[in-house]
Amino acid sequence: MELVAHIAQVQGFTAIALGLIIGFGALGACIGIGIMGSKFLEAAARQPELVPLLQGRMFLLAGLIDAAFLIGVALAMYFAVANPLLSKLAAG
Amino acid sequence: MASEPHGGLTEYIQHHLTHLNFRVSPNGFWSFHLDSVSVSLALGVIFCLWFWLYARRATAGVPGKGQAFLEIVLEFVDGQVKDVFHGDRRFLGPLALTVFIWVFLMNAMDLLPVDLLPWITEKFGVGHFRAVPTADVNMTFAMSITVLLLVIFYSFKAKGFGGYMHELFTAPFGKWFAPFNFALNLVELVSKPVSLAMRLFGNMYAGELVFMLIAGLFSAGSWLLFGMGIIGYAVWGIFHILIISIQAFIFMVLTIVYISMAHDHH
């Protein structure tokens, strides 16, 4: 019975951590993409002839900004389906 | 859900996250992920054959659709290389093209239904099979470490042994801080392949997992969830087309940038 309580505790903390990882990651990535998108639209409005040049770079940066968030999501998903922190409990 | 074991979504996903592993040493330290290696090799061969066939019968006249497509890809990649690197492009151009198309093809394996290849291999008695080589951290690190070796090779080639050593030990703060400079340069050098590999891996792994989670809806039992699964799968698949192209593009651009940085003198 004590083991169940321990497992529940680990899983509860893990669930909170997953929320924090995905939530804060999404927050940062969205603010970043938002700032970059607004700047891109401003630049495109000022100098429409530069749009093809800027578009490629914008997508490149969008991928770079998204990457850290998606690494976080991958980590969080890994913890959600196969929690390695529980292995100690299973062994002991 | 042909390959679904009995035990719910968690077990289904864990089953799909297990590689087809070939162990060389008994404790599993030296082992090959046969699925990643075979899929990536097959895609590499397909890429080479595809481009070779069109290159062999390329015409200077009106190109066919296939040749026109390859010319667009080639000029796109060459333009990217030309923007960043001002030198002899005879090596870097083909390298960038290979990286771009190969990574793109490997990422595109994500667009196949998650159960398709495991279902086929199960018919041949192979239980675990992961179709996306770039969702395997060994694969992405193999590519990025190759890029690191190329960076080191081109640093030596462009600056000579003495020049590169001089740069490594004196670059940011001058010669009185030599050990500190060296440590700083080492960190810079190592962070390149790590970020390159983790970026691609994280994107593909997260994408694959989302596909699996959506696929879990198909066996949830109700028709409503089944329909939501189909819609979700289509939406995420369409969004994923963008992600796989951008990630292949980023891997290519950063490879070019790192190698052209190796040519720069401080």
Residue B208 banded pLDDT, cuts 50, 70, 90: confident
ipTM value: 0.73
Residue of B nearest to A66 (CA): B203
Distances (CA, A) of A11 to A6, A38, B16: 9, 40, 22
Residue of A nearest to B203 (CA): A70
- How many CB contacts within 8 angstroms connect chain A with chain B? 58
| Whole-number average pLDDT of chain B | 84
The pLDDT assigned to A92 comes to 62
pTM here? 0.84
Task: Report the distance separating Cα B149 and Cα B192, nearest Å.
Answer: 11
**Domain assignment of residue A4, yes or no:** no
Residue of A nearest to B83 (CA): A53
The pLDDT assigned to B181 comes to 86
Count CB atoms within 10 A of the CB of residue B239. 11
Distances (CA, A) of B52 to A48, A67, B55, B105, B243: 39, 33, 5, 16, 27
Q: Is B203 a catalytic residue?
A: yes
Percentage of chain B exceeding pLDDT 70: 96
Q: pLDDT tens for residues B16-64?
A: 777 777 777 777 678 888 888 888 999 999 999 998 988 888 778 888 8
The pLDDT assigned to A59 comes to 85
Across residues B167-171, what is the average pLDDT? 82
Say if B59 is an interface residue toward chain A (CB within 8 Å): no
Q: Is B199 a catalytic residue?
A: yes
Nearest to B155 by CA among B188, B109, B198, B177: B188
Residue positions of A annotated with a catalytic role: 66
Domain borders along chain B are 8-263
Q: Active site residue: B195, B222, B245, B260, which one? A: B195
**Which residue blocks in B31-177 are alpha helix, DSSP H?**
34-56, 65-84, 92-108, 116-123, 137-170
Element (H or E) spanning B246, and its range? helix B223-263
B219 vs A21, higher pLDDT: A21
Q: Is B90 a catalytic residue?
A: no
Say if B249 is an interface residue toward chain A (CB within 8 Å): yes
Domain, as residue range, for A86: 20-91
The pLDDT assigned to B2 comes to 42
At A76, which CATH number? 1.20.20.10
Q: Which of A81, A83, A86 would you mutate first to test chain B, the one with the most B CBs within 10 A?
A: A81
Task: Report the distance separating Cα A37 and Cα A55, nearest Å.
Answer: 10
Domain count, chain A: 1
How distant is the alpha carbon of residue B135 from its chain centre? 8
Q: pLDDT tens for residues B60-119?
A: 888 888 888 888 999 999 988 888 888 788 888 899 999 999 999 999 988 888 778 878
Say if B209 is an interface residue toward chain A (CB within 8 Å): yes
